[in-house]
A and B are shown apart, each in its own frame.
Chain A
């Protein structure tokens, strides 16, 4: 009896210690947990809830209207244009900024003199403020006094305004975005290239890969797999968020041709104060980003990590 009693006190002590240990653990996690809840999780939940209401900013009353906002979205021409523009824009920016970034990285990796200068120059747009750059580009692309006007003038074209033409405006924004993203992708690719062991190129050369391209296919491209995946996801998500150029340069126009989801969301929410409707757009926005991330985690990740 006594033995049993002694044992049970030991178990009690052990349990107590475990409890206090796990309590300590929760205590350590608490600050970041609270912060994350407050600034990420709760607002997200709130947005989802709001998307089912007809609330307007400042309105003291609101009502739950179910999926009404989402049905409106489906019928809203502006939203549809905006959604299509966003997808088009993403797939315009993604391949070009990746190919350009990779090409610049490979070129810089292969030169001995001036590599640092090129690296810095191509990286500059990444560090610049987008709004400020947007204003600079506005002057550069001005139809009469801009640099582009002089350039087009050489070929006899006058008064060409790339930003006010609905067939060129989005492409122009895409070019500016690529100009900014490519430098960042280049830096990431450079770090990836630096991690490829030189032995692999030697082995490839002995194995019969003579040309630059056969070595690229045999070694460089597969070895850059993880970096390329990261760069792709990152580029897609950031292309998704492009807002500044549009706000500064076109305000979504002409004729909604440069309207992207991020901009529509802003207009609906903060110009028209339709908080419920804007929340529904935000949820669509969220689902798109989420699906990209899920695709990455469950499909591509397995393809590019070889260990």
Chain B
């Protein structure tokens, strides 16, 4: 049974369709990342899963139960917000205790002043106290329990928000860009901590981000979304090495993948910049193609050969462990990025010769952007 299933989910505001036929299945304990540029509908999808927004059509199934008409608080989910959404008037302790208090105490027990002296509520408050302290201990925020959110740093607020989400042991953790308000080094640290937390809790996480690094490093599965459509739903490894659409290839990888237009001729031979690059594409004869070539998939060769293309260096970036060469290729003067380990005394305006590592090359239909698996070398 899936921990979370989304079937044919759509969402429209008037004429504008935000989500188009979304289908997702997440297994229990999986870490799913919804990855996409801003405005692609990923946060809307998360809100629909949480029940803070309703889908126009389709089904949301959590643990085998259709939840469309179930309130957010009864879906057994919890959510961490980008802004943390901590209650500023409450101490850290009260913030973490709130989801338990609203559930376990009835209206009379919740009354200010009187409520906490009732015999029954004393018992409940004691068990809540134990839970809160346990969570705080796990997240190393015991010493902050008496403080107000306004007195905390970004990273500490983040921990409190996670604590509030953890405290009632939900089946599903929803996280809406939780790290985007932190500075770079803290983000890397929290990334590791959230991943460790996920391993420890062994619960299902749905994580929304526009940061491909977060998606690649933390998740078991990534759903790449663009314009309200899931383009690819796969493991991070496959998303990088085997993208099924040119937009996925362009979105993932830093620096960006190089896309060059190419043509296939009668025999299926592929020509790039007028050169036969020794690559055959069966079933796609006489087609317009887009080649996706990652910076590391170029090889700089000493001598000009029949399949090499020449390029002039326009800019060199030294990144310590490697160099990036920005080169002009072909008649259209496309800028390509080439990753090399040493620059072999190359200078700006030098002409170099590049060969494409065809095994790592990705071929896309130039018109639809769909991946072409015409050659057995790149077959899935």
Contacts and interface: CB of A to CB of B under 8 A. Distances in A.
A65 to B, nearest CB: 50
B85 A200 contact: yes
A37 to B, nearest CB: 39
B150 A306 contact: yes
Interface in A205-222: 205-210, 214, 218-219, 222
B331 interface: no
B85 A306 contact: no
Interface string B73-96: 100011101110111111000000
Nearest to A306: B88
B108 interface: no
A306 B73 contact: no
Interface residues of A, number: 19
A222 B73 contact: no
A276 B246 CA distance: 89
Interface residues of B, number: 28
A253 interface: no
A209 B87 contact: no
Contacts of B186: none
B79 A306 contact: no
A218 B148 CA distance: 15
Contacts of A209: 73, 102
Interface in B235-275: none
Best-buried of A199, A208, A223, A225 by chain B (most CB within 10 Å): A208
Contacts of B87: 200, 203, 218-219, 222
Interface string B56-87: 00000000000000011100011101110111
A205 B52 contact: yes
A206 B77 contact: yes
Contacts of A207: 73, 98-99, 102, 164
Contacts of B89: 222-223, 225, 306
Contacts of B149: 306
A107 B90 CA distance: 26
Given A202-B52, A203-B79, A307-B150, A214 B102 contact: yes
A250 B103 CA distance: 55
Given A200-B87, A202-B79, A210-B73, 8 more contacts: A199-B83, A202-B85, A203-B81, A205-B71, A206-B78, A208-B103, A218-B98, A306-B150
14 contacts: A200-B87, A202-B50, A203-B87, A205-B73, A206-B52, A206-B78, A208-B103, A210-B73, A218-B98, A222-B87, A222-B88, A223-B89, A306-B88, A307-B148
Interface of B: 47, 50-52, 71-73, 77-79, 81-83, 85-90, 98-99, 102-103, 148-151, 164
